[in-house]
Amino acid sequence: MTAVPVTIATRGDSPRVDTVRVNMRAHLESHAAAMVAAVARYDAASRQEQRKIVAEIRARHAAMRPLVGLAPNATNLALPGETNQKLAKNAAFTLGYTGSPSTSSRVVVDWIGSPMRIVFDSCSWSGQCSRYCVLKGGRGKFSSVRAGRSWRDLVAYRDPVGWIIARRHELVTAADRHGAVLERGDVGTEYGIADLVPGLYADTPTGSTVRGYDYGKRPHILTGNGWQANGHHRTVYSWNENSDPRAVNRFLARGGNVVVVTDAAKGDPIPSSWKIGSKSWPTVDGDATDDRLADPGGHVVILYAKGGAANPIRPLTGFVMPVARGGRS
């Protein structure tokens, strides 16, 4: 089961409201075969058939927007990179798919005549990072931005097949228009969709280039080298308080890359190497660009802490690592 119901009472004489907590990774895993087949059918369809399929899907998705307080407009799921300060640094045309971080999304819907509160667990591996998530600050403080993220969560939950077709269509359209497209597919979430639907990042039927990347904490990442979808997608492992240094070093030795959030200030030079356990690894500046496909393998990607994580009085928890210790995890 991917949805765990829990009944809670509201204050006063208000009726009880059922709450369903949804593990989004598990939910999408349960629909993976259908999503893989749907992407293949979309790619095989004519342009006219594709437009008809997507128009029907976008109409369904638009009808869900009022459930989170938005107008019922047909709009894209992914946003252009220039709307994100980090993605805007990428040289390639980039799209970013942003959901709600951790369990911050709560949507109340009518469920067979009764109100139902859905809590989306978009990153089951989040830990200390959830306290400092940058998506909770900046533009993330605006209710309309939070509602947009909740809408994407709701679409993925209620219509996973339509959701993946819409995402594939947006990538194909952008790649054919620009010649190539790069997508960061998990901004604030950890669906790990490239694991489940590799065809999402296949080149377009006309031959335009589609590539993707993301960051993740799920332990399964460490069993490979971070490359998925026939080399079209790369996942960079995110060091955290639960990381096993031995498994991380094996991952790096296979050519995988690891991102470490440090207490360095913005503009500070990054250390030339970073030690994990007993081994030192060369580094790259993760704030110069967000394009992780361009990084050489076997490197540690250094980021400076942002948002609440940059507060100098915060405890160093294993998520934010101190450079003063000599570049060591």
User: Digits of tens for pLDDT over the chain (329 positions)?
Assistant: 344 443 333 334 445 667 888 899 999 999 999 999 999 999 999 999 999 999 999 999 999 999 888 999 999 999 998 777 789 899 999 999 988 877 666 666 665 566 778 888 888 877 666 666 656 556 656 678 888 999 999 999 999 999 999 999 999 999 999 999 999 999 889 999 999 999 999 999 999 999 999 999 999 999 999 999 999 999 999 999 899 999 999 999 999 999 999 888 788 899 999 999 999 999 999 999 999 999 999 999 999 876 555 555 455 566 778 787 555 55
Same-domain check for residues 23 and 140: yes
- Whether 226 is covered by a domain: the verdict is no
Confidence (pTM): 0.88
- Whether 300 is covered by a domain: the verdict is yes
Same-domain check for residues 121 and 252: no
Same-domain check for residues 34 and 178: yes
- Whether 219 is covered by a domain: the verdict is no
- Whether 231 is covered by a domain: the verdict is no
Burial of 48 (0-12, 13-18, 19+ CB in 10 A): exposed
- Whether 225 is covered by a domain: the verdict is no
Q: List the structure tokens of 273.
A: 């190497």
Q: What is the pLDDT of residue 321?
A: 81
Same-domain check for residues 181 and 253: no
What is the number of structural domains in the chain?
2
Give dist(CA 253, CA 298) in Å, integer.
Answer: 6
- Whether 222 is covered by a domain: the verdict is no
Same-domain check for residues 182 and 120: yes
| 323: Cβ contacts below 8 Å, ≥ 6 apart | 262, 263, 264, 268, 271
Domain of residue 298: give its range: 239-329
Same-domain check for residues 29 and 123: yes
Do 41 and 50 form a contact (C-beta atoms < 8 A)? no
Q: List the structure tokens of 213.
A: 């990347």
- Whether 302 is covered by a domain: the verdict is yes
Same-domain check for residues 145 and 7: yes
Same-domain check for residues 188 and 318: no
